[in-house]
Structure formats: structure tokens, C-alpha cells
Amino acid sequence: MRAPQVGQNFESFVIEEIIKGLQATKATRWDYYYFRTKNGAEVDLILEGSFGTLPIEIKFGHQTVLRQLTSLQRFVKRHNLPFGIIINNSNEVRMLGEQIIQLPAGCL
């Protein structure tokens, strides 16, 4: 049995690693934020910079089912983005949907 906050801790860890990685590149003029609508739809991390807009959802599990990615998919479509990223504990990089790329946390 895992602690109730393990998902939140994993999410925080991944976000910190991504931000540290961006800071290490000396890239300038980028920003990050959390996205949430009035209806409760959310995306864990939105990166914006010269590279464009990159929405990222973070899940602790090894597999992520498409219904868990509804907010991410809607964000991608609403902002006419080429793709969004899901970071989880899987072992492989692969497409989970037409515009959703799965990246293992180990790739960070």
C-alpha cells in the first residue's frame, strides 16, 4: 500500500526536474504555470517560451489510460498545439493518442 500523497510528491519531483533542466540550458524568456479551469479540468505543467507552448501531465502509475488525459487533450486542441506530453513511470516512449506522447520519468 502506498502513501496517499505519493502522486503529489511524484508530480512535484518531476516538475522540479523539468524546471532545473530548463534552467541548466541557459534558455531565456520561458515561463511555467499550472492550468485549471472553473470546471476543474487541469494540466499539471504548461511551459511557454521560444519553443512554443508545451502542456505536460504527470501521473505516478506505469500506465495511463486515455480517460485520464481528457484535460490534456482538450488543452492541446483548444490551443492548436502539435502535441502534449504525459510523464509517468512507464518503460517506453510511445504515442498514447493522436497528439499525446508518453515519456517515462526515467528519461528526465
Residue 4 has pLDDT above 80, yes or no: no
What SS3 state is found at 85? strand
C-alpha cell at 71: 484535460
pLDDT in tens, 33-72: 999 999 988 999 999 988 899 999 999 999 888 888 999 9
Q: Are 30 and 49 in contact (CB under 8 A)?
A: yes
pTM over 0.85: yes
What confidence tier does 90 reach under pLDDT thresholds 50, 70, 90? very high
| Average of per-residue pLDDT across 84-93 | 96
What confidence tier does 7 reach under pLDDT thresholds 50, 70, 90? confident
Cα angle: 77, vertex 79, 82; to 5 degrees: 65
What is the C-alpha to C-alpha distance for residues 78 and 90, in angstroms, rounded to an integer? 27
Residue 20 has pLDDT above 60, yes or no: yes
Domain coordinates in residue numbering, the chain: 6-107
| Average of per-residue pLDDT across 75-93 | 96
Q: Is 26 left (phi over 0), alpha (psi -120 to 50) or beta?
A: left
Q: Give percent of the chain with pLDDT exceeding 90.
A: 69
Question: 6-107 has which CATH code?
Answer: 3.40.1350
What is the C-alpha to C-alpha distance for residues 45 and 67, in angstroms, rounded to an integer? 18
What is the C-alpha to C-alpha distance for residues 52 and 40, in angstroms, rounded to an integer? 25
